[in-house]
Amino acid sequence: MTAATRPPAATPLTAVIDGIAQAARLASRDPADVTLIAVSKTQEAEAIRPLLDAGHRVFGENRVQEAAAKWPALRDAYADVALHLIGQLQSNKAEDAVALFDAIHTVDRPSLVDALAAAMAKTGRRPDCFVQVNIGAEDQKGGCAIADLPALLERARAAGLPVVGLMCLPPADVEPAPYFALLAKLAREEGLSGLSMGMSGDYATAVTLGATHVRVGSALFGARKAMAA
């Protein structure tokens, strides 16, 4: 569901869609150009179904194994669901991810590029790929260094990956706008139109700065449940 598609009842989903639409209009953008990814990681099927019943069809998961456990049954019941992998991906899970997801937002290293290319060749599936940039140069976060981005993109393109954009997670507890603006600049320089950026607390800012995909969880589902180890 894009931000231009509004479910009928007043719900957290409508509030987020309206917030995206307002931010898009402030930036003279079409709200339909922004895809809302409902981050359903750690959520059980019972919590996801109300959004599906309201017509939303784009969801994000962090873990391949969690998504594989709960989404096949939901996809059988609801048509046209698109799944986006927004968590870090181990190279040995690349084939499973390619088989399950419609987009992968966390391509961040040459070994993963190679694993995804092999998985796509084997399965025939070609999910959209976003290259994740460690926009704040934080040791604890995934993503390639800004200086390494051109080389990683060159490798991904040479391997035939369908790279559609860049993704980032700005540092916590600081103003995100400069980081979003930097990611947008990097994307322009690399000829990429997709920008996966913005979460529950800052998606409006991200939209004003060009986000094409926002990843919203707690604003839709409430506080995140803890995952079992």
Q: What is the pLDDT of residues 114-143, one digit of tens each?
A: 999 999 999 999 999 999 999 999 998 999
Amino acid at 136: G
Please tell me the pTM assigned to this model: 0.92
191-212: burial string, b at 16+ Cβ within 10 Å, e else: ebebbbbbbbebbbbbbbbbbb
Whether the per-residue pLDDT at 71 is higher than 70: the answer is yes
pLDDT in tens, 136-172: 999 989 999 999 999 999 999 999 999 999 999 999 9
12-221: CATH architecture: Alpha-Beta Barrel (3.20)
> Could you tell me where the beta strands, DSSP code E, fall in 62-206?
82-85, 103-107, 128-133, 163-168, 194-196
According to DSSP, residue 93 is labeled: G
